[in-house]
């Protein structure tokens, strides 16, 4: 067994109504000027007010709301939010939303203690000091960003999603409240749930996985696969709560191991077409698995089992391939579109492959992959 290190800097509180404890948590940190980083959809849906009402009731009314977060957040949005943080003299950041809000808040937290431009910190471990205190409140069931060490921000000049990674970027506290995902639209549950499944599968199979991330990864795969269809098409509150927990555990998994080929390609797609992250992952996941499964038959067969496939009478190789079939079926049941349906162009394959090949996580893919192989996988995905 290889040596490994496992870090979880984020304190996690999970439960129905747990976000009502935000004011006490901010006070316990000795802070009083929160900047809430969120998006207009959550403001319009009343979710932000629900949380600020808790702050008002506890006499913590000197908060500021920045609601300018967009999908695939850009460096210029980070800069705008940072300027607001400076203006209101924020001493703590509260991210309410999906990965876009949380990743932006992490980046703002970096600028608050390091200054400069967010692009200066691209890559692994460029952050040398703690970032501003950050409390993450996830409202989707996918990113796991509430516990991860990564902030993914679009560089507007390069149309490239850059990754800023360090344990110092992780939120100080995650308040994970199933009440906030009860009314999520089915399309958002499908796309963010497939992002979570991708995190669990890539975190479990990548080259830097270790026993603790393996335990989290396989548990999360089972939990997500068991609950995703019902959470999208049914009305079960429990299925949505389980997905939220599955997404969190998948975050703990890939946060300590890594993502791999699917995310390399999905981030290239998102950088070029602004494709929602979860949709991009869902489209590419079965194709990358089809390329990768031969690299670790045992683990891919385990994924098929965790996803409820009946593999007892199959050879190990067939059982491993069954994991690919299970993800294809899931995509169909969730009405995930194809590459053509999202407007991707075959004439962009060479560019997409090139961008995928410079992702920081390329070497974590379980089977050796480069520009040529990414091109081949994109070509296959276009035929689906």
> Contact residues for Fe ion (CB under 5 A)?
195
Least distance (Å) from Fe ion to the CB of residue 267? 8
Name which of 192 and 296 has its Cβ closer to Fe ion: 192
Q: Say how many residues make up the chain.
A: 384
Least separation in angstroms between residue 32's CB and Fe ion is: 34
Give the nearer residue to Fe ion in terms of CB position, either 25 or 195: 195
**Shortest CB 281 distance to Fe ion, Å:** 6
Cβ proximity to Fe ion: between 48 and 197 the closer is 197
Number of helical H runs and strand E runs in the chain: 14, 9
Write down the least CB distance from residue 152 to Fe ion, Å: 8
- Rounded to the nearest whole angstrom, what is the least distance from the CB of residue 175 to Fe ion in the complex? 21
Nearest to 176 by CA among 351, 291, 21, 346: 21
Nearer to Fe ion, 90 or 188 (CB): 188
Interatomic CA distance for residues 360 and 354, integer angstroms: 13
Nearer to Fe ion, 10 or 361 (CB): 361
Alpha-carbon span 67 to 55, nearest angstrom: 17
Report in angstroms how near the CB of residue 74 gets to Fe ion at its nearest.
17
User: Which residues make Cβ contacts (< 8 Å) with residue 151, sequence separation at least 6?
Assistant: 103, 104, 106, 107, 110, 145, 163, 164, 165, 169
45 in Cβ contact with 158 (< 8 Å):
no
Q: Do the beta carbons of residue 292 and residue 261 sit within 8 Å?
A: yes
Residue with tokens 């800023």: 164
Rounded to the nearest 10 degrees, the angle between the axes of helix 99-114 and helix 75-87 is 60
Q: Which is nearer to Fe ion, 52 or 104 (CB)?
A: 104
Q: Which is nearer to Fe ion, 195 or 309 (CB)?
A: 195
Q: Which of 2, 5, 96, 85 is nearest to 49 (CA)?
A: 96
> How many whole angstroms separate alpha carbon 261 and alpha carbon 361?
7
Of 195 and 258, the one with the shorter C-beta distance to Fe ion is: 195
CB of 146 to Fe ion, least distance (A): 13
- Tokens found for residue 265: 């390609």
| Cα dihedral across residues 168, 173, 176, 180: positive or negative | negative
Closest separation between CB of residue 124 and Fe ion, Å? Answer: 17
Element (H, E) at 160: strand 160-165
User: To the nearest whole angstrom, how small is the minimum distance from the Cβ of residue 212 to Fe ion?
Assistant: 20
- Residues 138, 143: Cα–Cα separation, whole Å: 8
Residue with tokens 């996988």: 377
Give the nearest residue (CB) to Fe ion. 195
Pick 303 or 320: Cβ nearer Fe ion = 303
The three-state secondary structure class of 236 is coil
């Amino acid at each position: 067994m290889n040596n490994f290190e496992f870090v979880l800097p984020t304190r996690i509180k999970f439960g129905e109504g747990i976000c009502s404890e935000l004011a006490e948590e901010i006070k316990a940190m000795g802070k009083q000027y929160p900047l809430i980083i969120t998006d207009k959809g959550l403001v319009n849906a009343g979710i932000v007010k629900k949380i600020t009402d808790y702050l008002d009731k506890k006499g913590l009314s000197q908060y500021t709301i920045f609601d300018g977060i967009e999908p695939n957040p850009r460096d210029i949005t980070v800069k705008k939010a940072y300027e607001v943080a400076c203006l209101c003299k924020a001493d703590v950041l509260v991210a309410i939303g999906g990965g876009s809000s949380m990743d932006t808040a992490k980046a703002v937290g970096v600028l608050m203690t390091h200054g400069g431009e967010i692009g200066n910190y691209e890559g692994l471990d460029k952050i040398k000091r703690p970032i501003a205190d950050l409390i993450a409140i996830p409202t989707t069931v996918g990113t796991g960003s509430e516990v991860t060490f990564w902030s993914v921000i679009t560089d507007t000049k390069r149309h490239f999603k850059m990754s800023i990674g360090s344990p110092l970027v992780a939120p100080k506290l995650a308040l994970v409240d199933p009440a906030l995902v009860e009314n999520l639209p089915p399309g958002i549950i499908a796309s963010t749930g497939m992002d979570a499944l991708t995190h669990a599968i890539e975190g479990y199979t990548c080259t830097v996985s270790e026993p603790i991330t393996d335990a989290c990864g396989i548990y999360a795969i089972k939990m997500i696969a068991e609950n995703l269809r019902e959470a999208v098409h049914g009305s079960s509150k429990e299925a949505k709560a389980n997905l939220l927990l599955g997404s969190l555990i998948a975050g703990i998994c890939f946060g300590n191991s890594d993502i791999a080929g699917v995310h390399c390609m999905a981030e290239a797609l998102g950088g070029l077409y602004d494709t929602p992250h979860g949709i991009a992952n869902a489209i590419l996941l079965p194709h990358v698995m089809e390329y990768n499964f031969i690299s670790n038959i045992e683990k891919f067969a385990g994924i098929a089992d965790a996803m409820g496939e009946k593999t007892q009478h199959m050879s190990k190789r067939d059982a491993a391939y069954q994991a690919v079939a299970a993800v294809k079926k899931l995509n169909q049941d969730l009405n995930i579109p194809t590459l053509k349906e999202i407007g991707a162009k075959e004439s962009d394959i060479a560019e997409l492959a090139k961008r995928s090949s410079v992702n920081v996580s390329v070497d974590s893919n379980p089977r050796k992959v480069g520009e040529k192989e990414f091109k081949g996988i994109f070509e296959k995905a276009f035929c689906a």
